[in-house]
Structure 1
């Protein structure tokens, strides 16, 4: 993927930059946060995943096929990304 940001059309926020999160953060129907780890290796390509994905990432020493299969990445707009990040940030939610 190039370092150039991609645009997507979000049903909630319209035309926006694309970001990626793990499927666990999208599919979570519980009211408790799953943690949010931000991969900041490429600032123009925001990526985030839950603590379970971070464990697999660490065990696999990077983005292996096993990590990608477990992560089940989903493309979202950057506004949705920020909302998901806020919802699942365990440190911020502990202070509330």
Structure 2
């Protein structure tokens, strides 16, 4: 099984193909996902520090362009299916922003 390392939080195994946003949430990382994992809001952004998150799909590319996200290493965790080991740093968390995480994304 792939391993996901979250900077400053630890490492955990993730079922291959699981959405990164769900892997984070299921392992105690309070990542924001205000649109419920639909590639609309960009609150679930992560900085990919190491590993291969896979290609950027059409929905993610559209919202990245709309929101001015140009850095290749900044990705939406709701659009990444974990296929291999990754090291990430969540950019926005519910606790840091004093918000409810949002509706749980579907798998």
Alignment TM-score, normalising by the size of structure 2: 0.27
Larger Rg: 1
Pick the structure with more helix per residue: 1
Alignment TM-score, normalising by the size of structure 1: 0.29
- Bigger relative contact order (CA 8 A; separation at least 6): 2
